[in-house]
Structure 1
Amino acid sequence: MDLKSGNLYWPDTLKEKPSYPIVEENMECDVVIIGAGVSGACTAYELKDSGLDIILIDKRTVAAGSSSANTGLLQFSNDQLLHEAIRAFGKTAAVDHYWRCFNAISRLRDEIVPSLSIDPELIMRESLFFASNEDEIETVQEEYKALKEAGFDVEYVEKDEMKKWVPFSRRAAIITKGDAEVNPYKLTHGLVKAASDAGVRIFEQTEVFLKKADEDGVLIRAAGGYLIKAKKAIFAQGYETQETVKEKNTVIESSYAIVTNSIDDLSFWKDNVMIWESARPYFYARTTADYRIVIGGLDERTSNPDMRDQKMIAKRDELIKEVESWFPQLQGAIQAEYNWSGSFAHTHDGQPMIGQYGRVPNSYFLLGYGGNGIVYSLFLSKLVARHIMGKKDPAFSFYSKERVYEPE
């Protein structure tokens, strides 16, 4: 699958990245993880101290797929707003999902990042979610009420108050606390290196294919004709997972992003609060560790890479225009030093998935689809790891295809 095109920013931030060998022999293991993007990296990290023999393998280098095009906003709020999720799944399941996202970010800060030898540039941020137009005011108000009742630390912001945060204003907005920004490329490399240091076998630039899956385990054929025999397989290939299983709940579209030049003075942007809006598709923005602006959005309902890429220059110009409309101080002072387009997947029902399919036994498909993919990968990988180790978690069934919620 042609996952992305353009000039990517994140790989330029890690010039001396770890490298790993290709597969050059037949192997056996307890668990093989296919895909060394953020989902596979999280899974390898979760299993590194399990006592199981783990292999992580990718046809590219680590983080060279969609993870290199991720914009690195970590938010507990989702594309499916809490009040919408409550209507779809009930209050208990929806609120539990939101707290699971919140706790995943907190755990990343408190437990995971301190254990990594590669700094992923994690910075805790507040987020500003605003009504895109007058028709969206009620949506923001409903969301504020749902978040407040669920116990989240949120603040309702009206038009004049919003200018305390950014130079532009809308009639209604929410400030949420507990979010973060991260360098997704460094995070993925940091997680993989931690797994490697703990004994997980890592292989790059080796394409693999599912040869057989039955009650005895999984057999993977690697480039060169080598075979990997595993008791369990975890497919963490992101959007390319759809080449192995056609999940009907999945929609693949296209999205666009730019990273600007470094900006000397961002004092007009209070605390570099992360920004997103209520319209669908929506614009979103954040800053980087070297004082650039990342802005993305303008999603298109196409999975055709040629159609996607034909619009990349026009989308770049639209994104610059949007930044300048938010921040008039920057008119004429910014340029897109990096811009790219990429495939983007979400689910019809708004929730990520752990796929299990009868035709592919002993296999898990980690589908952290949606605008909150890194956060989803953080907790879905832990659920899969616990399940493999025989530890029951009531949330596992909710993220399965059946969407059965089993509260503790």
Structure 2
Amino acid sequence: MTQLPGTYESYWMETGTGPEHPALADGLEVDVAVVGAGVAGICTAWELVRAGRRVALLEADRVAAGVTGYTTAKLSAQHGLLYAQLRKSFGVEGARQYARSQQEAVEYVDRVAAELGINCELERLPAYTYVESADAVDQLRAEADAAREAGLAASFVSETGLPYPVAGAVRVDHQAQFHPRKYLLALVADLVGRGGVVHERTRVVSLDEGEPCRLTTEGGVEIVARDVVVATHYPVFDRALLFSRLEPHRELVVAAVLPTDHDPQGMYLTQEQNTRSVRTAPYGEGERLLIVTGEKFKPGVGDVSQRHERLAAWTMERFPDARITHRWAAQDNTTTDKVPFVGAFHPGSEHVYVATGFGGWGMSNGAMSGRLISALITGGKVPWASLYDPRRLHAREAPSLLKAQGSVLKHFVGDRLRTSHADSVEEIKPGTGALVRIEGRRCAVYRDESGAAHAVSARCTHLGCLVHFNDAERAWECPCHGSRFAIDGSVLQGPAVRPLEPRPRPQTD
């Protein structure tokens, strides 16, 4: 494995710092409890505090430090080749509602940043979806027509600011990009200033949907609230069965310093070459930070280091004057019909709401979700509420749903047919991990650089799929629903809320 240059850390995390908030130690009673302090949870909590509600924002780790801290941070209504598909699945009006809700979110963030005086490096730029293959140009022309019909400032173009030729692109004007943590941490500060409370290191593990609702943390502390918002990226409660309609995926990111005069001056995306996304951000005098995202894969697939090497090689080939400084990875979920789930948690839910399935477009969808859920709780009306309603069911998503569940079944059953992923602990190279059967039980074993072995249960605590090792991030990942665990078994990312069970440390020769 090649040692890639740069720091393995998100640039947003490194450059966007904020104060710590205390863990919840005693019981709490509020109007609304928001579980999850990513972009959707923060925006929702902030909207509700402004509406006069008593709000508690609860986060298992640190505020805006999960998926939101590792985003590409495009704030755009152009979501790849989506509008032709939306027009086919939801009709012309459905596509228009989607476009309007997303574009309004872009304008709203711009307006809020100005009103609160937030210096979040927000820049208004065009967004492009492009192809290099001439065979895909007709599809791009159809997408440009659909996006324009939906109300976006869309056009088909053959020239871009990229330093390499393209066969064509859909250009959408009036989009934006920003520093997500600087924006969201400012919202949190304003939320606290308005009387809201924020508790970090407070993992919620159970929900009782009574009147009022009752939440319980892993430490046994109870939160009582009239309304609850589940904004944990992947819902940590399974009662809505949304896990059967969500597909997790990860993407890798490389960031590199680029001379300002080489800035492509736009946000770019292609689905070719297993996805390539390009944008820049302010960096230093005479420099920009080039941010390249791609190599989409399902959690637990493996060979992540090789994928990062491919992305870095592509970056240096296309931008030879760039100098890699950072690299990281991001994760998101896509719904089976490509439209997020934002609204009532399930058909019988009266006081519990959810926001999930942003499909890699969390910035605009997070802002949109905050406004939509706040309106649902306070009695407001939003014209696109039914479009995003999680309770929707239609035949159009059946093929995608069956495909997603087929993939889950493949891992749930197929992984168990393998005797192990390594025959013995000694086979595992230092600095790597594998599944090994020890005393009749499958264990997830990691050998540190000194050769010492560390073992935990191989069964994900969500629904029991077997975890796989991510060699680049040194984490255990569930290929079924995307839960992620540290080497010691602690939860890094849900839907799991309980750690992998520890196993006796195996002896090595």
Q: When the two structures are superposed, what TM-score results if normalisation uses the length of structure 2? A: 0.71
Instruction: Give the Å deviation of 1:242.
Output: 6.1
**Equivalent of residue 12 in structure 2, options 10, 13, 21:** 10
Distance 1:93 1:280, change over 3 A: farther
**Residues 72 and 226 of structure 1: is their aligned pair in 2 closer, same or farther, counting only changes over 3 Å?**
same
**Which residue of the partner structure matches residue 266 of structure 1?**
260
* Distance change (3 Å), C-alpha of 1:59 and 1:104: same
The aligned counterpart of 2:475 is none
Corresponding position of 1:149: 149
Structure 1 stretch displaced more, 44-53 or 359-368: 359-368
Alignment partner of 2:332: what SS?
strand
Percent identity between matched residues is 22
- In 2, are the aligned partners of 1:132 and 1:278 still within 8 Å (CA)? no
1:175-254 to 2 correspondences below 5 Å:
175-214=171-210, 216-241=211-236, 245-247=240-242, 248-254=244-250
Higher relative contact order (CA 8 A, sep 6+): 1
Q: Which residue of the other structure, out of 262, 276, 285, is the alignment partner of 1:283?
A: 276
Residue equivalent to 1:340: 328
Runs of 4+ aligned residues of structure 1 deviating over 6 Å after TM superposition are: none
Q: 1:325 to 1:45 in 2, by over 3 A?
A: same
Match of 1:391 in 2: 380
Match for 1:317 among 309, 316, 334? 309
Instruction: Determine the C-alpha separation between the residues in 1 that align with 2:236 and 2:78.
Output: 25
| Contact 2:43 2:367 (C-alpha < 8 Å) held by counterparts | yes
CA deviation vs aligned residue, 1:89-132 (integer Å, no higher than 9, x gap)? 1001112211211111011112x112446522211111222124
How far, CA to CA, are the matches of 1:230 and 1:349 in structure 2?
A: 32
Query: Structure 1 residue 269: deviation in Å?
Result: 3.3
Give the drift of 1:324. 3.2
Deviations 1:258-312 (A, max 9, x none): 112x22x232334x21111143842101111201111111111x232xx4xx533
- For 1:396 and 1:77, locate their aligned partners in 2 and report how far apart those are by CA, in whole Å: 20
How far is the alpha carbon of 1:41 from its aligned partner? 0.5
2:470 is matched with: none
CA 241–297 in structure 1, closer or farther in 2 if over 3 Å, else same = farther
Amino acid at match of 2:248: I
Aligned residues: 382
Structure 2 spans left out of the alignment, 5+ residues: 1-6, 395-509
* Structure-2 separation of matches of 1:224 and 1:117: 38
- Encode CA deviations 1:310-332: one digit per residue, 9 max, x unaligned: 533322221222223433x42xx
Letter in 1 for 2:154: V
In structure 2, distance between residues paired with 1:280 and 1:81: 18
Q: If the length of structure 1 is used for normalisation, what is the TM-score?
A: 0.87
Q: Would the aligned equivalents of 2:137 and 2:168 in 1 still touch at CA under 8 Å?
A: yes
The match for 2:133 is: 133
The answer for unaligned runs of 5 or more in structure 1 is: none
Could you tell me whether the CA contact under 8 Å between 1:73 and 1:182 is conserved in 2? yes
**Counterpart of 1:90 in 2: which secondary structure?**
helix
Q: Partners in 2 of 1:368 and 1:378 — Cα distance?
A: 14
CA distance in 1, matches of 2:57, 2:387: 26
223-232 or 84-93: which moved more? 223-232
Task: Specify whether residues 10 and 141 from structure 1 end up closer, same or farther in structure 2 by C-alpha distance, changes over 3 A only.
Answer: same
Q: 2:295 is matched with which residue?
A: 298
Structure number with greater Rg is 2
> Which letter does structure 1 place at the counterpart of 2:93?
T
Q: Distance in 2 between matches of 1:133 and 1:325?
A: 18
SS of aligned partner of 2:226: strand
